[in-house]
Structure 1
Amino acid sequence: MPSTIVHAGFALLLAAGLWKGTLDRRALAVLLVIVVVPEADTIAGLWMDGAHRALLHNLTIPIVAGLLLYWDTCHRERSWLRDRWGGWGVQVAWVGLFVHVFAHMLLDYAHLEGINVFYPVVDQFVRLEGELYYSTTEGFVQTFVEFPTDDVEGTAMDVGATGTTADTHVDNPVEPTAAVEGDPDEPVERLFPVADSGWQFHLVLSGLFVLLARRFQDRRDEQ
């Protein structure tokens, strides 16, 4: 699965592209915290079944946060966030929201058992899995969402559902699958991943490179 370092690397790429003006260290620190915080639900997994990839890995939180942020910054006569932190705070909040969704939620959505998308409103893990291509014989083909067909009775739309918190466990260093399912007397290997594949390592390096390039550009503009 994507490690926290991979999420951070992707977050750096998004922040560099979305941030307007100088990307200062304080803003960068806040954005990285926003990216890391969802992993705290691994600890909750010690007391709650299926907490990881559900409790803080869902789209319910950013949807609610986005609506509140939009209301506060665009519709209120006086924005609490703008009065408290100025334009800097508003930009951090919006960029942080997009970084949270695209650099963490949707990245995990495409790996292992996916995420519990609308938890706790709907308890259902969903994984983004499939392909999209054009074939000279089949035309456009997509398998991310499988629609019901008339020739097969009992079929329903398949959006990649994998399970619920009651029967889904996503391996993590705090609560490895081996510890959950194996012999409690056997030693358990806890893996702390950095990059599970070449593209993940490339994403980390790209994020660091873009951050350094952005810092050099910001300093040049300030001179």
Structure 2
Amino acid sequence: MPSTTVHAGFTLLLAAGLLRGTLDRRAIAVLLALVALPEIDSAAGLWLDGAHRALLHNLTIPLLAGLWLYWDTRLRETDRSWLRGRWGQWGVTVAWVALFVHVFAHVLLDYAHLEGINAFYPVYDRFLRLEGELALSTTDGIVQTFVDVDVGADGGEMTDVGATGTTADTHVANPVEPSETVEEPDEPVERLFPVAESGWQLFLALAGPFVLVARRFQERRDEA
């Protein structure tokens, strides 16, 4: 699965492109803290079955947060906005970027790996994984396998969107709860803290800091 290092690298990449005029250390610290926060559900798995990739790795939380943000910063009068009144326009901008980063740099990035995420937990308990391909074939035209629709024996349609299980029967290995079972009592349990599990993950982890530093140099040059 993508490590926190990969999530952080992607976060810095998005921050460099989205935080125009608000790219400061405070904003970067907020985004990095937020993108690491969902990993807390790894520890929650010690008390709640299937908590990892469910409790904080879902789309329910950002959906509710997005509705509140829209209400507070768009529908309420400017002088009554809690977020704007406390942190000004800086807070509004960073909050919207943070929501975007949380969804795209963490939740949806995990959506395509291992058992995926419990997308609408706790409203709907089902792990979903984004798995398939999209291609343009000279013989078959547009080919996509992310969503498969088949006709069953009774003539009804069956749709496969990558469902992999529920919290009751799905476990995603993590350093707190390794998936390996130890057969010998004295055998040590390997707790793996991944940094990059493939070339593209290493590239993404390094691209973020590089682009962020390059952006800072450009801003200093423009100010000179």
Amino acid at match of 2:107: M
1:76 matched to which residue of 2? 76
What is the deviation of 1:129?
Answer: 0.1
Runs of 4+ in structure 1 over 3 Å off: 150-155, 181-184
Q: For residues 215 and 82 of structure 2, what CA distance do their matches in structure 1 show? A: 30
Which residue number in structure 1 is paired with residue 189 of structure 2? 188
Question: How many pairs does the alignment contain?
Answer: 221
Shift of 1:205: 1.1
| Unaligned runs of at least 5 residues, structure 2 | none
Q: Distance in 2 between matches of 1:149 and 1:20?
A: 50
* Partner AA of 1:112 in structure 2: L
| Shift, 1:148, TM fit | 2.8
CA distance in 2, matches of 1:95, 1:124: 28
Alignment of 1:191-210 (within 5 A): 191-210=192-211
Q: RMSD of the alignment, in Å?
A: 1.4
1:88 corresponds, among 87, 90, 104, to: 90
Letter matched to residue 176 of structure 1: P
Higher strand share: 2
1:1-223 to structure 2, matched below 5 A, reads: 1-77=1-77, 78-149=80-151, 156-178=158-180, 181-183=181-183, 185=185, 186-223=187-224
Q: Which amino acid aligns with 1:217?
A: Q
Distance (Å, rounded) in 2 between the aligned partners of 1:22 and 1:141: 42
How far 1:221 moved relative to its partner?
3.3
Counterparts of 1:94 and 1:164, CA distance in 2: 31
Q: Aligned with 1:148: secondary structure?
A: strand
Give the alignment's TM-score, normalised by structure 2: 0.95
- For the structure 1 residues 152 and 14, does the alpha-carbon distance in structure 2 shift closer, same or farther, using more than 3 Å as the test? farther
Give the Cα–Cα distance (whole angstroms) in 1 for the partners of residues 183 and 152 of structure 2: 47
Cα distance 1:152–1:10, how it changes in 2: closer, same or farther (>3 A)? farther
Deviations 1:29-85 (A, max 9, x none): 001001000000000011111000000000000000000000000000121100000
Percent of aligned positions that are identical: 73
- Structure 1 range deviating more: 111-120 or 14-23: 14-23
Name the aligned partner's letter for residue 205 of structure 1.
L
TM, length-normalised to structure 1: 0.95
**Residue 116 of structure 1 aligns to which amino acid in structure 2?**
N
2:152–2:158 CA contact under 8 A, matched in 1: no
- Aligned-partner Cα distance in 1 for 2:169–2:137: 38
Does the residue aligned with 1:156 lie in a helix, a strand or coil?
A: strand
- Unaligned residue ranges in structure 1 (runs of 5+): none
Structure 1 contact 41–51 (Cα < 8 Å) conserved: yes
Distance across 2 between alignment mates of 1:184 and 1:38: 33
C-alpha distance after superposition, 1:9-40 (max 9, x if no partner): 00111111111214100110001001000000
Distance between the aligned counterparts of 2:223 and 2:208, measured in 1? 23
C-alpha deviation, 1:177, in angstroms: 0.1
The AA in structure 2 aligned to 1:158 is: D
Equivalent position amino acid for 1:199 in 2: W
